[in-house]
Amino acid sequence: MSFFAKRQTAAGSSTTAAAAAAAAAQKPWIEKYRPKTMDDISSQEQAVAVLKKTMESQNLPHLLFYGPPGTGKTSTILALARDIYGPEMIGSRVLELNASDERGIQVIREKVKNFARSTVTHNIGNQNCPPYKIIILDEADSMTSDAQSALRRTMETYSKLTRFCLICNYVTRIIEPLASRCAKFRFRPLEEKHSKERLELICQQESVKISPEAILSLIRVSEGDLRKAIMHLQSVSRLVGKDAEIDSAMIADIAGTVPESVIDGLEACWRTKDYKKISSEVQNVVADGYSAARVLSQLHTRLLKNDSLDSMQKAKIAEIFGDMDKALSDGADEQLQLLNMMTRISAIAA
Amino acid sequence: MALWVDKHRPNNLDKLDYHTDLSAHLKKLCASGDFPHMLVFGPSGSGKKTRIVAILRELFGPGSEKIKIDQRIFETPSKRKLELNIVSSNYHLEVNPSDVGNYDRVVIQDLLKEVAQTQQVDASAQKRFKVVVIHEADLLTRDAQAGLRRTMEKYMGNLRIIMCCNTTSKIITPIQSRCLLVRVGAPTTQEICKVLHKVVKKEHCGPLPETLALKLAEDSGRNLRRALLMLETAKVQCHPFKDNQEIPRMDWEDFIRQVTTAILKAQTPEQLQSVRGQLYELINHCIDPTTILKTLAKDIIDRVDANDIKMRFAQEAAFYEHRLRTGQKAIFHLEAFVAKIMSVYKRHLMAMDM
């Protein structure tokens, strides 16, 4: 009997170990290579340096992180929390709420307030941890302004027990009274060298073969968004397998950029004033499934480099781009908008 | 008896007729066991859903085809009850959250969390995750999309999301950067012809003349679903197929053609009045106002000959379509469009006379 029992436990533990290994293998690289400690964070020197200083003094202000996606805002605060509290305490001391949680005014009044006013428990282990908790409000710009107003007094009243960290993309969507209660940190789009270091490290650890130009084009298409770059890298490496080398064409393919030939075709249309040609070109672009917003942004870069137009023409065209972007974000029909843009531009450029 | 569109829908990745590179990639992806979130986009009738179904089959085997439909009730914070139909199998869920309009955020939050927090218990299961397919993802509100962001990362272990939409313009960038973008372009006319021939052969209903196939493919506007539906109607109308067979058209398209004729015939307030009646009729028959405007504009542009005026009409169409989308009542904008067209056209005619 005992023999049987022993065997069973052995079998059980091996399956859980296998399952854990499988889960680790399935983990997306963006989670796997998220910086674990403050020292791991390779860029955003300024913000990181200031935060480290404040950590030493054990007196953290309320924080407001803002910046474009994929610049390490969430990673920084998570690493900070881990550094302060250590792995055992982090569960009880940190409350993380993001846009996927209900964050109406009710939740702020009850859940957040209750967590904020509960006193901290004794230190578990010998971690030298400060006597306050952290509430992370991720994606705070999607909170209603009512909910934000409800936070104002809560933040002040319980500031002894709780520090807030708000994270958002657009600082303008945070109401002024909240913003003025926080120390603001701006996260810049990552510099090329930092992105490059990180990507190379990942390639090395995951034994991905990639050409140096491909890394550069990866950085270029991701526009300073490291998460996007890592995501693309993982997708490409999945597609090509372990043995083949990744080149720039594959990166462009996966990133959904519109091929240069298509953009060339559209640009050539500017010169003609022929409606038929323009309309068939536009129809093909739409039917091939390229998104109008992408086409627009790539045409814009093209426009800047175009030498055959003078500044006045470029300015006028830029105005058209603006109109079109607004119309697209209002949900107007892509084909009609593209057609509109092309005809208006051809009136200027031809 | 199923429609040909459904009957001959390819059900695995090997049987897909075009975009073979894409199919090969997807196959590799499914085999690797490490499957990302996906955002599938392309124009309608290009085979997005067919590909999604094929992916699911590739991932989970035939079990993914045993689907059931159930109605779920969600409750908003303000205690409003929302009902939503969910198509599910043992391995995946399909939802169309835009059905509940502004409350789609609640559905996304509740449903995804529920799926995400339940782990696969069966150790022998092929995959440890469940797939949630979100249709019409471009109609999701910003709130709902924001709600997806962290969930997608946090619960990656138990959950994969496949989103299906027509355009990525309205998907917020944080979501795009978390997904593998899969573009499904519309099939070319030749590809459509090939599929049409194949279907006819499978149905054993005589040879399909090349010219007719080409005509069907061109009339469909590179939309395979429409091409197949037209083929089936054509078969009902006249079988065996003839070379110069009339292609069946929707009656509302004919109706819009009449409207165009009316607009081009006379440009007076009285005429506008009568056109208005016709437009109302179209709207009452539940034709989508955007479709009306687009078809009307295309028709008019085809039928005027001066290049300048074509360009001008295209611009006006875009302008009023945008207004239509942001505005409330469709008839105002349709009528404004017609009035504008009339005035531009009249001025053009007068200038020609002088």
**What are the pLDDT digits (tens) for B186-220?**
888 888 998 888 888 888 877 788 888 888 888 88
Strands (E), B96-210: 130-134, 159-165, 180-183
- For residue A306, pLDDT over 70 is answered with yes
Distance CA B336, CA A124 (A): 71
The pair of structure tokens assigned to A163 is 């520090």
Question: Which residues are registered as beta bridge partners of B131?
Answer: B92, B160
The CATH code belonging to domain B4-183 is 3.40.50.300
Distance CA A272, CA A350 (A): 6
Chain B residue with minimum CA distance to A337: B318
- The reply to whether residue A275 touches residue B180, judged by beta carbons under 8 angstroms, is no
- The reply to whether residue B168 touches residue A328, judged by beta carbons under 8 angstroms, is no
CB contact B248 to A (< 8 Å): no
| Closest partner CB to B41 (pick from A26, A273, A289) | A289
Task: Using CB atoms within 10 Å of the CB of residue A52, give its burial: 0 to 12 exposed, 13 to 18 middle, 19+ buried.
Answer: middle
Distance CA B328, CA B104 (A): 21
Element (H, E) at B307: helix B307-326
The pair of structure tokens assigned to B172 is 């917020």
- For A107, other C-beta atoms within 10 Å of its C-beta total 17
Q: Look up the pTM and report it.
A: 0.79
Using DSSP, state whether A59 is helix, strand or coil.
coil
- For residue A65, pLDDT over 90 is answered with yes
CB contact B340 to A (< 8 Å): no
Whether residue B240 is preceded by a cis peptide bond, meaning omega within 30 degrees of 0, is: yes
pLDDT band of B306, cuts 50, 70, 90: confident
- For residue A12, pLDDT over 50 is answered with no
pLDDT band of A8, cuts 50, 70, 90: very low
- The reply to whether residue A227 touches residue B301, judged by beta carbons under 8 angstroms, is no
Distance CA B308, CA A53 (A): 66
In chain A, residues with a C-beta closer than 8 Å to the C-beta of B41 are 289, 291
- The reply to whether residue A337 touches residue B322, judged by beta carbons under 8 angstroms, is yes
Mean pLDDT of all residues in chain A? 82
Percent of chain B with pLDDT over 70: 97
CB contact A344 to B (< 8 Å): yes
CATH topology of domain B251-353: Zinc Finger, Delta Prime; domain 3 (1.20.272)
Contact call for residues A129 and A163 (beta carbons, < 8 A): no
- For residue A321, pLDDT over 90 is answered with yes
- The reply to whether residue B167 touches residue A291, judged by beta carbons under 8 angstroms, is yes
Chain A residue with minimum CA distance to B43: A289
Whether residue A177 is preceded by a cis peptide bond, meaning omega within 30 degrees of 0, is: no
In chain A, residues with a C-beta closer than 8 Å to the C-beta of B174 are 69, 169
In chain A, residues with a C-beta closer than 8 Å to the C-beta of B28 are 238-239, 241
pLDDT of res. A1: 42
Chain A residue with minimum CA distance to B44: A287
CB contact B305 to A (< 8 Å): no
CB contacts under 8 A, A 63-122 vs B, are: 69-70, 98-102, 104, 106
- For B17, other C-beta atoms within 10 Å of its C-beta total 16
pLDDT of res. A126: 55
Chain A residue with minimum CA distance to B76: A102
| Mutate: best of B129, B138, B181, B225, partner A, most A CBs <10 A | B181
Which residue type sits at A251?
Answer: I
- The reply to whether residue B77 touches residue A288, judged by beta carbons under 8 angstroms, is no
- The reply to whether residue A227 touches residue B177, judged by beta carbons under 8 angstroms, is yes
Contact call for residues A200 and A215 (beta carbons, < 8 A): yes
Which residue type sits at A98?
Answer: N
The pair of structure tokens assigned to A132 is 């306050």
Mean pLDDT of all residues in chain B? 85
Give the model confidence (pLDDT) of B78-104 as tens digits. Answer: 888 888 888 888 888 898 888 887 888
In chain A, residues with a C-beta closer than 8 Å to the C-beta of B168 are 256, 291, 293-294
CB contacts under 8 A, B 180-199 vs A, are: 180-181, 183-186
The pair of structure tokens assigned to A18 is 């296998």
Percent of chain A with pLDDT over 70: 88
Handedness of CA A319, A325, A327, A330 (dihedral sign): negative
Strands B81-88 and B68-75: antiparallel
CB contact A187 to B (< 8 Å): no
Give the model confidence (pLDDT) of B149-183 as tens digits. Answer: 878 877 877 888 999 988 888 888 878 878 888 88
CB contact A274 to B (< 8 Å): yes
In chain B, residues with a C-beta closer than 8 Å to the C-beta of A27 are 156-157
Contact call for residues B163 and B40 (beta carbons, < 8 A): yes
Q: What angle do CA B156, B158, B159 make, to 5 degrees?
A: 65
pLDDT of res. A258: 82
Give the model confidence (pLDDT) of A17-50 as tens digits. Answer: 555 555 555 677 888 888 888 888 878 888 888 8
